[in-house]
């Protein structure tokens, strides 16, 4: 059938050319007609080049090859060229991936197609996982402060502090179960399981009933198979806050939590972190000589700098941080005027540190206040005197039709976009995002656990990368996801989207290029990162796979 149509098409083309030539000869004055004729001729030629002659096997495969070459990875991700060593590493990694993917598929257990909490051990068992752990990742640009650390650290360290008491009740699902309370006055003990207890006492009483406290706390703090619906996952974020209300308020706890989080990032090859922090920031408390002491918002922000200095002094003198201040969509204290006011106020606290990068609004986009509702207040605030405020909007963290927060994020000239998952519904924005160099902060594991893309192979970022949209990888809420650093997200993206080393390199490099670092800091960080990358490539080449 196709051959017949092709022949008919050929006849039609021949006839059309004769008619057009006749038209040009007999009506030479009709310039636009001539132009049209040339266009038709050109189109006919192109069509001829694309449509294979099905009678010839060679012709089909030659044209197929030609077609594939006309759709290369565009612009952004095709930029980095690989040297001989990198090409070798690219080949080695691809070979391991192919082998492991075949094995996973044979068993019907390809990890990116399953929920992260089920496949974490399988990822850790991959021969490429240690390679990803050592990969210099540059910056982590999308992570939230209270869930930036490790739940395991909360369970093994914070929950065992002498001033920490763990809430429990005999009522399954009671709101007190797993709640941590920090006090210098031991709560009353009923001798049973209702109330607040030191870790060791609660652990012993539960053990006598065959219950393991650490398993219970893991279940309460982290997502698992009981959180299977999208709304339940959003509820889990609220549960985290309600069970750990003083995590970011009790000064020694905040200090330990941040230091552990930053050290975990450093050990995962991350040298720069931009944390989303809720405003107004939590005011801390502590106990001195038996009395309660309260601290200011400025002192809370100082703790972030102190945690950075802790890492700089011990592990990496160039470790850097920035904070993106966030309002909670629709929350009383989170209107744009308050959030923008705090951006200006906090920005003046530590001159020379450039600690505050800008602002954002977070929360469930499908159930919360849209970005559009904040536009009048944003316009009013930005019209005021003072340094311009930069935006880093969460937008498009949704798979549902009708969410157009991305439109407002682009119109408000956001520097980066948190997620941008539903950009596939708004293709008209793609040229603007590309031209204005707005990076999408892609968080694969987060998007999977929120059920935006339960099978990561169908995540739209695979297409965004091939269409040359600037992208970086983020971990979002690693404590709640049972994730740490960025290695798991890199591994999932590499296996699910068929990335190559050029793309991995671009992801890492872009995380510094699109960071909020000052220009001189950025070029120094990029120079250091290039050296680390070259060292990593040399190291991978020495590994036996
Ligand atoms: Zn986020």
Residue 364 and residue 509 in one domain? yes
Residue 107 and residue 213 in one domain? no
Distance 127 CA to ligand 1 centre (A): 30
pLDDT tens-digit profile of 260-306? 999 999 999 999 999 999 999 999 999 988 799 999 999 999 999 99
Residue 200 and residue 328 in one domain? no
Q: 47, 70, 93: which is the final residue of a domain? A: 70
Distances (CA, A) of 246 to 31, 262, 360: 78, 19, 23
Distance 17 CA to ligand 1 centre (A): 59
Distances (CA, A) of 116 to 109, 344, 421: 12, 39, 18
260 Cβ contact list (under 8 Å, min separation 6)? 149, 150, 153, 157
Residue 250 and residue 324 in one domain? yes
Confidence (pLDDT) at 234: 81
Confidence (pLDDT) at 14: 44
Q: 240, 263, 286: which is the final residue of a domain? A: 240
Q: 218, 240, 262: which is the final residue of a domain? A: 240
- Read off the tokens for 207: 């053990």
Average pLDDT, the chain: 88
Confidence (pLDDT) at 29: 44
Distance 346 CA to ligand 1 centre (A): 21
Distance 275 CA to ligand 1 centre (A): 10
Domain that holds residue 503: 101-151+241-542
Distance 520 CA to ligand 1 centre (A): 28
SS3 80: coil
Distance 205 CA to ligand 1 centre (A): 38
Distance 362 CA to ligand 1 centre (A): 7
Q: Find, among 371, 375, 356, 368, the residue nearest to 417 by Cα.
A: 371
DSSP conformation class of 358: E
Q: Are strands 164-168 and 195-197 parallel, antiparallel or unpaired?
A: antiparallel
Residue 138 lies in a domain: yes
| Weakly modelled stretches of the chain, pLDDT under 50 | 1-32
Residue 121 and residue 196 in one domain? no
What are the φ and ψ backbone dihedral angles of 113, each rounded to 5 degrees?
Answer: -90, 0
Distance 446 CA to ligand 1 centre (A): 8
CB atoms within 10 A of CB 181: 15
pLDDT tens-digit profile of 178-231? 999 999 999 998 889 999 999 999 999 999 999 999 999 999 999 888 876 766
Distance 57 CA to ligand 1 centre (A): 51
Confidence (pLDDT) at 302: 97
Could you give the CA distance from residue 420 to residue 432 in angstroms, rounded to a whole number? 13
**Who surrounds ion ligand 1 at CB < 5 A?**
476
Residue 421 and residue 355 in one domain? yes
Number of domains in the chain: 3
- How far is C-alpha 325 from the chain's CA centre? 17
Could you give the CA distance from residue 454 to residue 464 in angstroms, rounded to a whole number? 18
C-beta of residue 113 within 8 angstroms of C-beta of residue 467 = no
Distance 77 CA to ligand 1 centre (A): 24
Distances (CA, A) of 180 to 155, 479, 506, 538: 10, 16, 41, 46
C-beta of residue 186 within 8 angstroms of C-beta of residue 162 = no
Confidence (pLDDT) at 175: 75
Distance 322 CA to ligand 1 centre (A): 15
Confidence (pLDDT) at 232: 74
Distance 70 CA to ligand 1 centre (A): 36
What are the φ and ψ backbone dihedral angles of 275, each rounded to 5 degrees?
Answer: -95, 135
Residue 94 lies in a domain: no
Distance 476 CA to ligand 1 centre (A): 5
Could you give the CA distance from residue 122 to residue 3 in angstroms, rounded to a whole number? 50
Residue 463 and residue 372 in one domain? yes
What are the φ and ψ backbone dihedral angles of 260, each rounded to 5 degrees?
Answer: -65, -40
Distance 141 CA to ligand 1 centre (A): 10
Confidence (pLDDT) at 40: 52
Distance 536 CA to ligand 1 centre (A): 29
Residue 85 lies in a domain: no
- Read off the tokens for 34: 């001539």
Confidence (pLDDT) at 2: 35
For residue 370, what is the domain's CATH number?
A: 3.20.20.140
Distance 419 CA to ligand 1 centre (A): 7
């Amino acid at each position: 059938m196709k051959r017949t149509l092709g022949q008919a098409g050929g006849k039609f083309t021949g006839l059309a050319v004769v008619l057009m030539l006749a038209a040009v000869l007999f009506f030479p004055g009709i310039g636009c007609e001539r132009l049209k004729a040339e266009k038709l001729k050109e189109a006919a030629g192109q069509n001829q080049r694309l449509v294979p002659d099905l009678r010839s096997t060679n012709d089909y495969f030659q044209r197929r090859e030609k077609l594939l070459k006309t759709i290369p990875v565009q612009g952004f991700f095709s930029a980095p060229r690989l040297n001989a060593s990198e090409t070798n590493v690219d080949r080695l990694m691809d070979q391991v991936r192919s082998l492991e993917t075949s094995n996973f598929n044979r068993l019907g257990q390809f990890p990116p197609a399953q929920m992260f909490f089920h496949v974490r051990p399988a990822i850790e068992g991959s021969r490429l996982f240690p390679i990803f752990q050592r990969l210099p990742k540059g910056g982590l640009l999308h992570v939230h402060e209270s869930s930036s650390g490790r739940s395991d650290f909360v369970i093994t360290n914070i929950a065992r502090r002498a001033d920490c008491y763990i809430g429990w009740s005999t009522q399954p699902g009671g709101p007190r179960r797993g709640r941590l309370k920090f006090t210098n006055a031991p709560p009353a003990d009923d001798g049973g399981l209702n109330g607040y207890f030191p870790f060791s006492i609660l652990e012993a009483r539960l053990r006598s009933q065959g219950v393991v406290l650490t398993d219970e706390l893991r279940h309460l703090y982290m997502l698992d198979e009981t959180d299977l619906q999208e709304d339940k996952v959003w509820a889990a974020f609220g549960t985290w806050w309600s069970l750990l209300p003083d995590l970011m308020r009790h000064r020694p706890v905040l200090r330990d939590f941040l230091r552990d989080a930053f050290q975990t990032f450093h050990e995962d090859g991350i040298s720069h972190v931009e944390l989303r922090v809720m405003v107004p920031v939590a005011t801390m408390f502590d106990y001195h000589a038996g009395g309660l002491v309260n601290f200011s918002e400025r002192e809370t922000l100082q703790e972030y700098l102190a945690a950075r200095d802790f890492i700089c002094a011990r592990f990496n003198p160039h470790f850097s941080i920035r904070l993106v201040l966030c309002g909670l969509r629709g929350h009383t204290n989170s209107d744009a005027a308050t959030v923008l006011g705090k951006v200006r106020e906090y920005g003046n606290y530590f001159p020379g540190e450039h600690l505050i990068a800008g602002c954002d609004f977070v929360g469930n986009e499908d159930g919360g206040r849209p970005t559009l509702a904040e536009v009048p207040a944003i316009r009013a605030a930005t019209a005021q005197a003072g340094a311009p405020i930069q935006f880093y909007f969460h937008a498009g963290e949704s798979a549902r039709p009708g969410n157009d927060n991305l439109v407002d994020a682009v119109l408000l000239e956001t520097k980066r976009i948190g997620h941008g998952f539903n950009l596939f519904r708004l293709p008209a924005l793609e040229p603007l995002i590309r031209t204005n160099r707005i990076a999408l902060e892609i968080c694969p594991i987060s998007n999977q656990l929120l059920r935006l893309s339960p099978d990561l192979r169908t995540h739209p970022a695979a297409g965004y990368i091939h269409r040359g949209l600037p992208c970086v990888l983020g971990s979002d809420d690693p404590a709640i996801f049972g994730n740490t650093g960025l290695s798991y997200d890199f591994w999932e993206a590499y296996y699910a989207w068929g990335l190559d080393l050029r793309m991995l390199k671009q992801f890492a490099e872009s995380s510094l290029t699109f960071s909020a670092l000052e220009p001189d800091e950025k070029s120094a960080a990029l120079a250091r990162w290039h050296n680390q990358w070259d060292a990593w490539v040399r190291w991978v080449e020495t590994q036996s796979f």
